[in-house]
Amino acid sequence: MVNWNRRELLRACLASLRLQTAAEFEIIVVDNGSTDGSAEMAGSEFGARVIRNERNRGFCAANNQGIAAARGDFVALLNNDAEAEPAWLAALYSACARRPDVGMAASKALVWEDPRRIDKAGHLIFPDGQNRGRGSGEWDKGQYEREEEVLWPDGCAAMYRKAMLDEIGGFDEDFFAYGDDAELGLRARIAGWKCVYTPGAVVRHHRGATLGKDSVRRLELIERNRVLLALKLFPWSLLWLNPLFFAARVAAGAALAGRGAGDTVHFRGMRGKWAIACALARADWQALRLAPRMLRKRARIRRIRRLSPAEVRRLIWNHRLSLRSVA
């Protein structure tokens, strides 16, 4: 569990872990320089192993610290803004342990404020690299009650096989936060590992609690990391088309914004829309500066590759978001 100044959210999250059934586990909290006493609370009230950073090292680096310290054969991640149902850990473990080719397990995340709605049930991706939860925002009508293969899990509530992480590496720390679980998940799929979604692993998740849905910094990180993900992992046949898919997504988002719908509603008025444009421009400039680094990492993917570029393209296409959904 990665934490940064969310003491009451963290307390509720840790309390939910006390209720876990049929699972033997340790709790590791990696604190990114909190000043609200949350790190002390995790250790004193819940007996968690606490790794303390002097500054906010981001989601990726902190998770890598926790993974390195973990002693189990499987590592579960749980955001501090999520609360797990009692069977959560046992269901994830069962999904992973049954098949040696399963390296990841995805939870059924419900919206904390209204658990009748789906937050995510595994992940989908748009062909420009933008990704989000499968079923995000849908009413929960039992449409995701079947255990099945999905693209990858959302890092807010997921399980990873330690042997897989030892083989492919952990989170890419250049991503800092947002899109990091997508990069790790797609890298694992390229290396031949599977991901299973299990509806018995239920959490309730506060959406956008870390930076907020109206955060310009959040938007910058999402856009920057979308580009980095594509540069690092997309087959060239799909990467060349990236600007076209991106333009289609922006146009669809603009059309919805004109009707007061879509994600842009969190940025109100012309000032808000200008803030979006500036954030996207800054993000793409940051991605351009990191492009040589990503291309070097791309070359190293050959060491773990099991899927051909054509198979990766089909994987992305078969698990793609519709244009309306991504807008």
Does residue 187 fall inside a structural domain? Answer: yes
Chain segment 106-139, per-residue pLDDT in tens: 999 999 999 999 999 999 999 999 999 999 999 9
Within-domain flag for 80: yes
Whether residue 21 is found in the same domain as residue 91: yes
Q: Which residues contact 188 (CB under 8 A, 6 or more apart)?
A: 103, 104, 152, 164, 168, 195
Structural domain includes residue 246? yes
In a domain, 114, yes or no: yes
- Verify that 197 and 271 share a domain, yes or no: no
The domain total for the chain is 2
Residue 261 pLDDT > 80, yes or no? no
Cβ 188 vs Cβ 123: under 8 Å: no
**pLDDT score of 223 more than 90:** yes
The pLDDT score that the predictor gives to residue 176 is 87
**What is the pTM (predicted TM-score) of this model?**
0.93
**Do residues 184 and 220 share a domain?**
no
Classify residue 245: in a domain, yes or no.
Answer: yes
| 223 and 199 together in one domain | no
Could you give the CA distance from residue 108 to residue 204 in angstroms, rounded to a whole number? 9
Kindly state whether residues 170 and 62 are assigned to the same domain.
Answer: yes
Q: What is the pLDDT of residues 73-97, one digit of tens each?
A: 999 999 999 999 999 999 999 999 9
Structural domain range at position 198: 2-205
Question: pLDDT of 187-208, one tens digit each?
Answer: 999 999 999 999 999 999 997 6
Alpha carbon distances (Å) from 94 to 23, 97, 117, 147, 194: 10, 5, 25, 11, 14
**DSSP assignment of 37-66, as one string?**
SHHHHHHHHH--EEEEESS--HHHHHHHHH
Distance in angstroms (rounded) separating the CA atoms of residues 136 and 133:
5
Q: How far apart are CA 232 and CA 295, in angstroms?
A: 6
User: The sheet that has 28-32: what strands, in order across it?
Assistant: 2-3, 28-32, 49-53
* 199 and 274 share one domain: no
Residues 18 and 61 reside in one and the same domain:
yes
Residue 319 domain-assigned (yes or no):
no
Q: Are residues 177 and 197 in the same domain?
A: yes
Asked if the structure places residue 185 within a domain, the reply is yes
Residue 323 is assigned to a structural domain of this protein: no
Centre a 10 Å sphere on the Cβ of residue 235 and count the other Cβ atoms it contains: 19
CATH value at residue 58: 3.90.550.10
Please state, in angstroms and rounded to a whole number, the distance separating the CA atoms of residues 226 and 322. Answer: 17
192 and 255 both lie in a single domain:
no
Q: Report helix, strand or coil for 283.
A: helix
- Segment 6-45, tens digit of pLDDT: 999 999 999 999 999 977 899 999 999 999 999 999 999 9
